[in-house]
Structure 1
Amino acid sequence: MCSEYEITVTKKILEENLSHPIVSGNDLWNLRVKMSMKAPVIVAKGDSLQVVEKTFPVMPFPNARLSGAQFLPNGEAVVRRISDLPTWRDGFQSNPCVVPMTAFFEPAYWGKEKGNIVRFSDDEIMFVAGILLSPKRPPGPNLSAFALITDLATEFMLGYHHRQVKVLGRESVLPYLKAQDARQRFEILSGSPNPSEFIVGRERSMAKGWERRVAEQEAKLQQEIAFRKMMI
């Protein structure tokens, strides 16, 4: 899941993409974001949009699944939504954010990029749905951190990784931030399809020993494929 991404953008570009003025103390961001670092996120304050700095935490792990399958001992799969889970429930109900990014990085344990960290980008800035939360590690004040929302992997992404971040269409950013409750917010995300493809680049080789994780990751892939069949 996504634990590293980059953002290179100006305030002007954000405003042009969202067709909305933005309140911010900075005019430019150029960051390679890893866990425990601070990064810009967009929040709604009344009628305004603001860019604020929040922590991309180590704990809770900063990926919140929109919907996922819990596999019971008998093999039955039960669907769990983000609003069902205590770690993410309050953030999704009341504290949404949108995370601008230029690219995100995922390890590939199968396919043509097997053994590499892969860079995924689009022609334009991406806006990823997120939620604010209270971090445990590194510790911080209430709602001083954020998590990225992940979604059902597309056929394209399954060629590299078993999950993907939820990229919002520009027309869905404001409705997502200003939704009245979790039900409405879930419907907005469900109605905003992920890009069918991304621009792919090889970032670097994975560190020695990655082969020992292949079986575990392939098992996750099979679970994702099973869940995907349930939902499509």
Structure 2
Amino acid sequence: MNRKMQHPPFLILSLSFLSIFSPPLISSQSPPPPPQSPSTACKSTLYPKLCRSILTTFPSSSSSPYEYSKFSVKQCLKQAKRLSKVIDYHLTHRNQLSKMTHEEFGALQDCHEFMELNVDYFETVSSELKAAESMSDVLVERVTSLLSGVVTNQQTCYDGLVQAKSSIVGALSVPLSNITQLYSVSLALVTHSLEKNLKKNSKRKKGSPDQGTSTRGVIHEPLETLIKVP
């Protein structure tokens, strides 16, 4: 005769206790936010058409304001390096130097310094954005100040060439204009994403203040006056 399996009352009670107080196997974390379309992200910029053309090349499906801003900074860094090389070419080739006046040469030297400074700024911003999820107000202000300084440096470069009546103003006018618009798009995307991160992390305990990064050349002006297209 087969005997039925009987569990001691203590074992039944123990299993019931574990089933109540054991953590669930399925994670209770909230799902990630849905991807954001380029059209939505670009509403915060002054040049939405240019912005959309940039973000449509974004290689990831996990689109978010934060990822878009990092991508735009990388694109700006590439363009800043290219522009610096173009200006360096005019400063180092004799066939170009022979056609320059003293004022034009000086303006071009200043312009090259501004472009090198912009490269440094974008590299710093790219590094800072890696910590954007836990950014403080101090770090947000630093990043936006650096990007504002980039736009200011770009405009100062162009104004100097115009004042010196440089012969290369015509050749650089369109590239400078396009790159200035690109910089302004990146500034808007970064500012928007950092503001969202700050709101999301507003309830978290603030860490110790970070040491400031040098912002030599940065001019603090309203955004409307910084974004000027030649």
TM range (shorter): under 0.3
Which structure's residues are more often helix, by fraction? Answer: 2
Q: TM-score, normalised by structure 2?
A: 0.24
Q: TM-score, normalised by structure 1?
A: 0.24
Does 1 or 2 have the higher relative contact order (CA < 8 Å, sep 6+)?
2
For the pair shown, the structure with the greater C-alpha radius of gyration is 2
